[in-house]
Structure 1
Amino acid sequence: MTIEAKTVDEYISKLPEDRIAAVSKLRETVKSNLPEGFEECINYKMIGFVVPHSIYPSGYHCDPKLPLPFINIASQKNFIALYHSGIYADSKLSDWFVAEYSKHVKTKLDMGKSCIRFKKIEHIPYDLIAELCQKMTIKDWITLYEKNIKG
């Protein structure tokens, strides 16, 4: 499910009715808990939280015109997804999240390398997502990104 939108509010307005509240709450959870410096935008046709060029002028190595991505939220065909680049880049953070997930949700974790999939809206662990967002500052993310990309 690709949503064409220029702003985050437009993206949310185009969601199926049954997803608007959950995506909005997930967005607010991320916004309220990310350390200072990250910027919200539409990124890769999803809600994105990025390191702006004003902080990291090099941008994303795959396309330097784009800001460095960190977290994305998307409404996909069969689930709501949270993409967290820190989980992909930091195995300790990923291990922490996997261990904590079962303390918050009774169903099995459905996760890829950076994608956490929520097939049932009622199983989104907003408190855990809030804690995850607080675990990495913008400086931490840039340092980890450069270590992994530039060696």
Structure 2
Amino acid sequence: MKPPSNVKTPEQYIASLPADRAKTISTVRALVNKHIPRGYDECLTWGTIGWTIPLSRYPDTYNQQPICYVALAAQKNFCSLYLMGAFWSARQLEQLKAAFKTAGKKLDMGKCCVHFQSPDDLPLAAIGKLIAAISSEQWIEMYEQSRSKTKSGQAQKKKLGAQSKSKAAAKRGTAKRRR
């Protein structure tokens, strides 16, 4: 269920949904906002409500887009909560699975999301804890570790290293002239 192209904010996204979906998304959005650590910005990203590391804070992403940590969307047949931390961390994924089992709820997972019809389908307290568990600083570290394992990430690291070396050399040259 892609939002209309004129939708620019999470509030507009929710207003564009049918009433039942709007209520569901609003409830889960409130949960995320209650538990999201400092350093993440809520925005509309990739047609979903997302909580991201803004480019103003971390501009060196592989796709020039903010690093998404959590996202929330109303799809055609269900809603989706994208918990990237739980899918990058085996420990968090196991905690998520255990939380569903303990709560007696069925876990319906996509590649990196949990599908649900209603907030009642989710172990909300456990999801809140998972969201709160990774600070924005930790998320950046996890992103950088992940990127360092790819060819393009290694190339970007070399490029940035060369740039910082040339900046350091330029500073040393300036410092020598000042003496």
TM-score normalized with structure 2 length? 0.77
Structure 1 residue 120: deviation in Å?
A: 4.2
The 2-side partners of 1:121 and 1:27 are apart by 10
**Partner residue in 1 for 2:100:** 101
Alignment of 1:4-15 (within 5 A): 4=4, 5-15=7-17
Alignment of 1:31-46 (within 5 A): 31-46=33-48
The 1-side partners of 2:78 and 2:123 are apart by 14
Structure 1 residue 121: deviation in Å?
A: 4.4
Contact 1:89 1:145 in 2 (8 A): no
* CA 1:8–1:72: 2 relative to 1, 3 Å: same
One-letter amino acid of the structure 1 residue matched with residue 23 of structure 2? A
Contact 2:99 2:123 in 1 (8 A): no
| Cα shift readout 1:50-74 (whole Å, capped 9, x = no counterpart) | 0011221213x2x11x111111100
The 2-side partners of 1:128 and 1:82 are apart by 13
Is 1:115 aligned to 2:117, yes or no?
no
What is the alpha-carbon root mean square deviation over aligned residues? Answer: 1.3
The 2-side partners of 1:121 and 1:50 are apart by 22
Structure 1 residue 95: deviation in Å?
A: 1.1
Contact 1:38 1:51 in 2 (8 A): yes
The 2-side partners of 1:35 and 1:48 are apart by 14
Count of matched residue positions in the alignment of Structure 1 and Structure 2? 147
Structure 1 residue 149: deviation in Å?
A: 1.6
5+ long unaligned stretches in structure 2: 150-179
Runs of 4+ residues deviating >4 angstroms: none
Whichever structure has more helix as a proportion of its residues is: 2
The answer to which of 111-120 and 88-97 deviates more is: 111-120
Structure 1 residue 85: deviation in Å?
A: 1.3
Calculate percent identity across the aligned residue pairs: 32
Contact 1:30 1:133 in 2 (8 A): yes
Alignment of 1:1-150 (within 5 A): 1-4=1-4, 5-59=7-61, 61=62, 63-64=63-64, 66-104=65-103, 106-150=104-148
* CA 1:25–1:120: 2 relative to 1, 3 Å: closer
Contact 1:82 1:115 in 2 (8 A): yes
Structure 1 residue 113: deviation in Å?
A: 3.0
The 1-side partners of 2:148 and 2:93 are apart by 21
Structure 1 residue 119: deviation in Å?
A: 3.0
The 2-side partners of 1:144 and 1:9 are apart by 30
When Rg is computed on C-alpha atoms for both structures, the one with the higher figure is: 2
5+ long unaligned stretches in structure 1: none
Structure 1 residue 17: deviation in Å?
A: 0.9
Contact 2:96 2:127 in 1 (8 A): no
